[in-house]
Structure 1
């Protein structure tokens, strides 16, 4: 029997274990040789000799991660033109550090630091000269909205944190850095509101991240699988977003956000099932419009989940529920089709998934062409060939369109996967099979947790007050309290914001 891995208590306040101490050599060339050996004599490790205040010195840097123009203007020019000035006052860089540990200098040079050695000095100077290449924070293509902010996260973690700091000007906004990946050394940032987020959740997130000992962790997808509660559940346990405004709203609810350097997606934890059906546009429009579209997404979820299965059950077991005016059309459509309804549905669903996948992987202009060819020509061809009934094509088309209304790509993928067991159950037991599978799904949702918080809240456990922002949304001025399922430190979100309406003139 495989021994269960022992867990350890993680204290987020404990100090980071320092690198192994390696004293600086008295000879500059020996220090250079140590760097060359540390980087396996890599060709991008460069050396520049200097003379500072009558002393010989060298500057070491990796040309692949250093901005050579910044290196020249901020470091080389001051060192070679100005004399008799302490180096700490000479260099204008805000990130000037000193160390007597060669291993620490080797580690910092990977992040774009330039390392300065001066003869007869027992310390080394580390100066920031990193290269910054980034795109502008444009609106994410997969999270477009009608109104509101049109900024999006990019692949630079510092820019992403700036976008959060710009929106939440509050001393309680806390950022904790971590490094994961034993070989990749990916920089992470845990962001939360100290006065709102549950301390146990913050500690639990950091504890789980501390156990991620993979060689590389370069994307949120890797991180998610290491920290989610139930990795074999079809439902997502973390919410992805590229929108700073959406991330800000979840921070103000008491959630924790994980940023990873090199990725425009951030991870939001803990989450509930209904979070995946919400969109920033819900609060950017009037209350009736926002509530209508949120309710429409919930209805679309059930349509995309059960529509093909319902059609199979009705055609195979419950033909009598079809109205008399339509029964002749349905009978004429399915008559002569060589496949049973289940095989028809499977063929069409697989075809839709093929078209969807091809549209995503191909370049944008070709992907749009594939969608037109697959949706029109291929659908018309299979009907004319008598292989698929026209009613089945309509059902699958409605199902596909309904799945597109779900804001979360992860939940949309889950719905498409759960369609298959529902269709099999419908072809075996009819409506009874559908009810049984749905009962299992609901029971599974009630059992799930996200970092110790109920996944199906506020339905299970039932919280009447939280229903104001679940299926529909109440006016913002009535949403005075935060959801209790997150156990926030501060329940009250706002006071009576329409108190002016109650005052007598």
Structure 2
């Protein structure tokens, strides 16, 4: 995992900040005018910066109108101010003393109000942040049949609340930090103390604190900065917008990363098989869960290999076609002026164009484009003699198989891998497919995610931990946590069906 930087023991609630982003403190002076001039200058005289003069110029309140709530300003400040002298406001209200002008500016940017008066070497700040919260709904990208229908929203505090409601445990740790020198995006690192491997937590924190960029807009920015192999097509961190899936992974010993302004949770470390697991697998009986998961894993081979397999048969190995299908296949491709590789590439690109158009257009229009566009273009392209009927079927099955994966990131990876395998098969036939699959397998075995083998528990092989990979064993049989999380608490449960023996 690389050499870790030695750090002293910190309070779990202490915000994490990178050394390159720490600014020197600027003490509050006894001159009110000087303090106000410094704050307005640092905030570039922004039009939403409001100054309200009190006591004939001897006191002032400062806040950003776009971030502060007027009702909270009246409730938390003016009610206490109307009956209490300046110096006693600390004890009579929720005000907090701050003597650093840089820190005061930071809380102003969070929606707080600052109150200062002449002769004081500190200012009082009040939490008056306005909240514009969206309702908790099921995420569109991760639908399930059975299970919770709650999803994360764009507010990081609400997202943490959804996690804490499901884990009412004092060992659940939430650490905050700010990323982005200019945007100061609030990040939360979440894990279960006593279950998670401390080395994994330190590695995640080290990589996060090493990020030195002006802006962090979404978790996608964070992933590219901290993943092990940035040039691999495979995602190395698990994305989810579901609290129940997040809680399950945190209880397995993974570390979660939340960002303000995004409903997406990043989970690390991740393995290949984690992307094929869905909450439906565990909310259904194990027979059903196993059957559905086997279908998903089989779809991996269909999504990346079916067009290549068809091209190899048509171009190199016609003898493997059953005798009854020889004539239909031959008549289908006889009138096509292009080789099979051109057919496949044209159809795969058309499928991607229709899919992208369906996503970008409004929902009703996008659905219409997807259905009508696919039918009209498919029928027209066959009638024009550009693509054979069999190629239409092959590409359609490939597209459907790529959407079976519960993870959108892995689905995109499968569609990308289709292209190199098509080229290998058009060059060497079955030998090209075998060669491409070997390269893919070698790559998967070499990948790591925060020190965890990406293809675990298959490479290295751990038979005991195969209970939740290709098949989903009954829950009472899965007594141990997954090997890939390297949890310090290996046992997840004791024998839960001892009642049968009694």
- If the TM-score is normalised by the length of the shorter chain, which range does it land in? over 0.9
Aligned to 2:214, what secondary structure does the other structure show? coil
Distance 1:387 1:178, change over 3 A: same
Deviation at 1:123, TM superposition (A): 1.2
Deviation at 1:135, TM superposition (A): 0.6
Separation in structure 1 between the aligned mates of residue 86 and residue 261 of structure 2, nearest angstrom: 42
Separation in structure 1 between the aligned mates of residue 101 and residue 119 of structure 2, nearest angstrom: 15
TM-score (norm 1): 0.95
Separation in structure 2 between the aligned mates of residue 84 and residue 57 of structure 1, nearest angstrom: 9
Separation in structure 2 between the aligned mates of residue 368 and residue 395 of structure 1, nearest angstrom: 22
Separation in structure 2 between the aligned mates of residue 472 and residue 394 of structure 1, nearest angstrom: 29
Deviation at 1:487, TM superposition (A): 1.6
Separation in structure 2 between the aligned mates of residue 260 and residue 11 of structure 1, nearest angstrom: 24
Separation in structure 2 between the aligned mates of residue 205 and residue 320 of structure 1, nearest angstrom: 54
Gaps of 5+ in 2: none
Match of 2:36 in 1: 32
Distance 1:103 1:287, change over 3 A: same
- Larger RCO (CA under 8 A, 6+ residues apart): 2
Separation in structure 1 between the aligned mates of residue 215 and residue 322 of structure 2, nearest angstrom: 59
Deviation at 1:30, TM superposition (A): 2.1
Match of 1:333 in 2: 332
Separation in structure 2 between the aligned mates of residue 222 and residue 272 of structure 1, nearest angstrom: 20
Q: Which of 68, 71, 74 matches 2:70?
A: 68
Is 1:58 paired with 2:57? no
| Deviation by residue 1:316-362 (Cα, 9 ceiling, x = unmatched) | 01111111111111111111101110000000000000001111111
Match of 1:3 in 2: none
Separation in structure 2 between the aligned mates of residue 12 and residue 85 of structure 1, nearest angstrom: 37
Separation in structure 2 between the aligned mates of residue 121 and residue 128 of structure 1, nearest angstrom: 20
Separation in structure 2 between the aligned mates of residue 130 and residue 214 of structure 1, nearest angstrom: 26
Deviation at 1:472, TM superposition (A): 1.0
Does the 8 Å contact 1:179/1:187 carry over to 2?
Answer: yes
Separation in structure 2 between the aligned mates of residue 408 and residue 231 of structure 1, nearest angstrom: 18
Deviation at 1:134, TM superposition (A): 1.7
Does the 8 Å contact 1:26/1:119 carry over to 2?
Answer: yes
Deviation at 1:306, TM superposition (A): 0.2
Is 1:44 paired with 2:44? no
Separation in structure 1 between the aligned mates of residue 86 and residue 200 of structure 2, nearest angstrom: 53
Does the 8 Å contact 2:192/2:251 carry over to 1?
Answer: yes
Aligned to 1:304, what secondary structure does the other structure show? helix
| Deviation by residue 1:130-178 (Cα, 9 ceiling, x = unmatched) | 0111211110000010111111111111111111111101111111111
Separation in structure 2 between the aligned mates of residue 12 and residue 402 of structure 1, nearest angstrom: 50
Deviation at 1:10, TM superposition (A): 5.2
Match of 1:9 in 2: 5
Is 1:347 paired with 2:346? yes
Aligned to 2:82, what secondary structure does the other structure show? helix
Separation in structure 1 between the aligned mates of residue 397 and residue 445 of structure 2, nearest angstrom: 29
Match of 1:155 in 2: 154
Deviation at 1:85, TM superposition (A): 8.8
Match of 1:197 in 2: 196
How is 1:134-145 mapped onto 2 (pairs within 5 angstroms)? 134-145=133-144
Deviation at 1:23, TM superposition (A): 2.2
TM-score (norm 2): 0.95
Distance 1:25 1:351, change over 3 A: same
Q: Which moved more, 1:390-399 or 1:75-84?
A: 75-84
Separation in structure 1 between the aligned mates of residue 78 and residue 50 of structure 2, nearest angstrom: 14
How is 1:202-351 mapped onto 2 (pairs within 5 angstroms)? 202-351=201-350
Separation in structure 2 between the aligned mates of residue 172 and residue 194 of structure 1, nearest angstrom: 5
Match of 2:419 in 1: 420
How many residues are matched? 493
Separation in structure 1 between the aligned mates of residue 3 and residue 117 of structure 2, nearest angstrom: 46
Aligned to 1:395, what secondary structure does the other structure show? helix
Aligned-residue RMSD, C-alpha: 1.7
Deviation at 1:81, TM superposition (A): 4.7
| Deviation by residue 1:112-143 (Cα, 9 ceiling, x = unmatched) | 11001022222110110001112111100000
Deviation at 1:375, TM superposition (A): 1.2
Separation in structure 2 between the aligned mates of residue 102 and residue 370 of structure 1, nearest angstrom: 56
Match of 2:187 in 1: 188
Separation in structure 2 between the aligned mates of residue 81 and residue 230 of structure 1, nearest angstrom: 61
Gaps of 5+ in 1: 1-5
Separation in structure 2 between the aligned mates of residue 158 and residue 131 of structure 1, nearest angstrom: 13
Distance 1:459 1:7, change over 3 A: closer
Aligned to 1:86, what secondary structure does the other structure show? helix
Deviation at 1:19, TM superposition (A): 4.0
Separation in structure 1 between the aligned mates of residue 416 and residue 35 of structure 2, nearest angstrom: 58
How is 1:74-93 mapped onto 2 (pairs within 5 angstroms)? 74-81=76-83, 86-91=88-93, 93=94
Does the 8 Å contact 1:10/1:203 carry over to 2?
Answer: no
Deviation at 1:68, TM superposition (A): 1.4
Deviation at 1:84, TM superposition (A): 8.8
Separation in structure 2 between the aligned mates of residue 19 and residue 214 of structure 1, nearest angstrom: 16
Aligned to 1:178, what secondary structure does the other structure show? strand
Does the 8 Å contact 2:180/2:215 carry over to 1?
Answer: yes
Separation in structure 2 between the aligned mates of residue 474 and residue 408 of structure 1, nearest angstrom: 22
Separation in structure 1 between the aligned mates of residue 96 and residue 384 of structure 2, nearest angstrom: 74
Match of 1:373 in 2: 372
Separation in structure 2 between the aligned mates of residue 342 and residue 444 of structure 1, nearest angstrom: 25
Match of 1:383 in 2: 382
Separation in structure 2 between the aligned mates of residue 485 and residue 264 of structure 1, nearest angstrom: 25
Distance 1:84 1:329, change over 3 A: closer
Separation in structure 2 between the aligned mates of residue 405 and residue 81 of structure 1, nearest angstrom: 64
| Deviation by residue 1:263-286 (Cα, 9 ceiling, x = unmatched) | 110110001100001100000111
Separation in structure 1 between the aligned mates of residue 26 and residue 227 of structure 2, nearest angstrom: 39
Q: Which moved more, 1:125-134 or 1:82-91?
A: 82-91
| Deviation by residue 1:427-450 (Cα, 9 ceiling, x = unmatched) | 111011000000010011011110
Aligned to 1:251, what secondary structure does the other structure show? helix
